[in-house]
Every structure is written in structure tokens, then in C-alpha cells.
Amino acid sequence: MNKQSNVQTLLDIKNLRVWYKTTRGNAQAVDGIDLTINRNEVFGLAGESGCGKSTLAKGILGMVRLPAYIESGEAIFYRSVSGSSSMGVDLLAIPSGEMRRLRWRHIAYIPQGAMNVLNPVMRVERQILDAIYEHSNMSKEEARRRMFECLDMVGLEPAVARMYPHELSGGMKQRVTIAAAVSLKPELIIADEPTTALDVNVQQVILQELKEIREQLGLTLIYVTHDMAVHAELADRIGIMYSGLMVEIASAVSIFKNPLHPYTQGLIASIPTIGGDRSRMTGIPGATPSPLDWPPGCRFHPRCPKAMEICRQQPPVMREVAPEQIVACHLYNDGMTSEEQ
Ligand code: SF4
């Protein structure tokens, strides 16, 4: 279904549920996400392992295979059509042929362990050029020019084009996957923990390159990682997930300076600091519950230091409790306290 839209919204996710069939019932990994991604922003998707963020990233693109399946929801992608107008398509309802046409040209996905998705028996140039030929009408000459531009953007020498993946370091392979992802100037890139396996120095350089590419191409980036330090570096806005749900969405500044949800506060308190007073890191007690059996009421209540009676019975709903800061927590049912403001 197509419809005209506000150009500022690039992606509008409504009530998205991605579940896994298991012999013990449905694991409700993503369990009703509403989220709007704005054009040209970097949106950081955060939360502990097992909170559902990678499943959400794949679910948005309908890239789930049994035993995972889309239980419900929409992901309306407003692709540019001409000038300042855009056209909305539901990524979860379009035929696979149309989705293939959107991939690379309009949306690129960098998966977890992207370094290992390169074909070991194909030179780098073949892997990038094949993607360009398949998804665009560029001539051979234009495609090669574009490939070298993209390699340069990620700090790789032209000679890398003639190499095989085994001749590259982990950081170089990751850069090749990023070069391939940006080769057709997509409007949206979804990157799922692309730098987690790399050492900190290489990670830092690649994050800097991603920032520059984003500014240069004006693309929108959804960046998935549990690493809050990476979000501090890269994100404009951050969504915090817990137990298959979004629990707080706000600007990166608000998330780090004034986190409102007790889970977000726990994540921020778990980030080690180099300067400042020495203090014991508290972390978040307990473990993420099983998606086969979420706790009733607020799913965070068994681990929450501020849990109240209502929390054990009623699930909190997302509400805006500060400008553009949306939180699902009963502490804010009557707005913010003076302590938090
Ligand atoms: Fe804690 Fe209750 Fe807020 Fe959940 S709703 S985070 S249990 S205070």
C-alpha cells in the first residue's frame, strides 16, 4: 500500500512483533514496537544481549526465516521519488521482487559478523561491482569509478579492489562491507553490531569514517549495538530496548545526561569512566528474562530498584514525559517529579 507522507519521516514502524516458534511455545523476541526514524539521523538501538534489538533490525526488513516469523506489524519506508516528495511502502507487505529492488538501492543492511559475509573466492572488486550492476543501470566505467570512490571513503587503497578477503585484516574486510553498502547511496543503512568483533582502535577509526560518510551522503543510519560508548560517539537519538519492548526513546544527550527509565539509568551507570571520582560500578542486578515467559506487569520489575506494587501488575505504556523523551515507566504516570526535572 502506497501513500504520500511527511518528508521528515523515513521509517514508521507500528506494532512490530517478531516471534520464534519453539517446542515450548512462541518466544516473543520483539513484542510490539512503535518507532519512527527521521530522515538523515543516526538512530542508536541499544540494550543488553537478548533484548531483541538484532531481531528488530532484521524484522524491519522482513529478513526473518523460520523459526522466526513476523507475528504482526508494519514498517512503512518513505523512499524518495522525486524532488522533495516521498512514497510510503510497507516493507513487510511488499512482494519479494519489490523488496529486492529496494535493497541496496534504497536500503542497505550490514549484518553482524559482516566480515564473514564476503565470498572468500571472489576479489573485492567483483563483490562490490556485482552489487552495483545488479541494482543500478550504471555502465562498467561508472560502476568502477563509484567502487573506487567508496573504497576511498572508507580509507582503503585502490589496490584493495584486486585482493581476496583472506588478504585483508578484519578491519579492512569490515570497511569493504561498508563500501559495498554505500555504493548505491542508499537512503537508509541498518548496521547490526558491525564493529563489535574489532579491536578498539580499529573500531574508533571505522566509527569516524561512518560519521563522515553519513554527513557526506546525508543518509540515515540505524546502528545496533549493546555498547553505549559507541552510541555516545555516533547517535543523534537512542532507543533503549528491554525484553522485546522499547522502554525509552530520546536524544543521545538526554539519554546520557538525564536517563529516566531505571533500566537506562542502569546501563549508563555500567559505563566505565576514565576521569572523575573513583566509585564502584553498580551494573544491573539479575539477568534478562526468557522471551518464552516474560514477567507480568513491567518486564523489568524483578530487576528494578524502584519497583512498586503497580509495576508487578500493569505494563507501563510509552509516554512523553519530557520534550521528545518517551518512557515506559510507572514512575512517570503523573509526569516528572521535581527531582528528575
Ligand atoms: Fe521500575 Fe516500575 Fe518503572 Fe518498571 S515501571 S522500570 S518496575 S519503576
Given a cut of 60, is residue 339 above it in pLDDT? no
Question: For residue 301, how far is its CA from the centre of ligand 1 (angstroms)?
Answer: 6
Whether 286 has a pLDDT exceeding 90, the answer reads no
The model's confidence at residue 84, banded by pLDDT at 50, 70 and 90, is low
Nearest to 53 by CA among 324, 291, 325, 328: 291
> Helix H segments across 103-169?
124-135, 140-153
Q: Answer yes or no: is pLDDT of 287 > 60.
A: yes
Q: Could you read off the pLDDT of 222-250 as tens digits, one per residue?
A: 999 999 999 999 999 999 999 999 999 99
For 45-49, 103-107, 203-207, 297-301, which range has the lowest pLDDT when averaged over its residues? 203-207
Check the CA dihedral 45-50-54-57 and report its sign.
negative
Q: How far apart are the C-alpha atoms of 6 and 136, rounded to whole Å?
A: 27
Instruction: Give me the percent of the chain exceeding a pLDDT of 70.
Output: 91
pLDDT band at 282 (very low <50, low <70, confident <90, very high): low
> Residue 244 phi/psi, 5° resolution?
80, 0
Beta bridge partners of 245: 242
- Would you state the pLDDT for residue 205? 84
- For 292-319, the DSSP string reads TSPPSSSTTGGG-TT--HHHHHS---EE
Cβ(11) – ligand 1 distance below 6 Å: no
Ligand 1 centre to CA of 307 (Å) is 5
Measured CA to CA, the distance from residue 152 to residue 197 in angstroms comes to 23
Distances (CA, A) of 198 to 55, 114, 167, 194, 202: 22, 11, 17, 9, 6
* pLDDT single digits (tens) 52-65: 999 999 999 988 88
Q: pLDDT tens digits, residue range 153-190?
A: 998 999 999 999 999 998 899 889 999 999 999 999 99
* Homologous superfamily, domain 1-106+189-199+216-274+285-341: P-loop containing nucleotide triphosphate hydrolases (3.40.50.300)
User: What is the Cα–Cα distance from 310 to 330, expressed in whole angstroms?
Assistant: 8
What is the Å distance from ligand 1's center to 306 Cα?
6
Question: What's the whole-number mean pLDDT along residues 9-38?
Answer: 96
Q: State which of 298, 299, 332, 339 you would mutate to test the pocket of ligand 1, scoring each by most atoms of that ligand within 8 A of its C-beta.
A: 298
Quote the pLDDT of residue 340: 57
Residues of the chain with CATH 3.40.50.300: 1-106+189-199+216-274+285-341
Give the span between the Cα atoms of 223 and 245, in whole angstroms: 17
Atom of ligand 1 nearest to the CA of 298: 4
Among 55-64, 89-98, 210-219, 270-279, the range scoring the smallest mean pLDDT is 270-279
pLDDT band at 210 (very low <50, low <70, confident <90, very high): confident
* pLDDT of amino acid 198: 76
321 lines ligand 1 (CB under 6 A): no
CA of 32 to the centre of ligand 1 (A): 18
Q: Note the pLDDT of residue 337.
A: 58
Extract the runs of DSSP E, i.e. beta strands, from 92-234. Answer: 107-110, 188-192, 220-224
Q: Which of 308, 310, 326 maximizes ligand 1 atoms within 8 Å of its Cβ, making it the mutation to test the pocket? A: 308
Among 19-28, 179-188, 278-287, 329-338, where is mean pLDDT lowest?
278-287
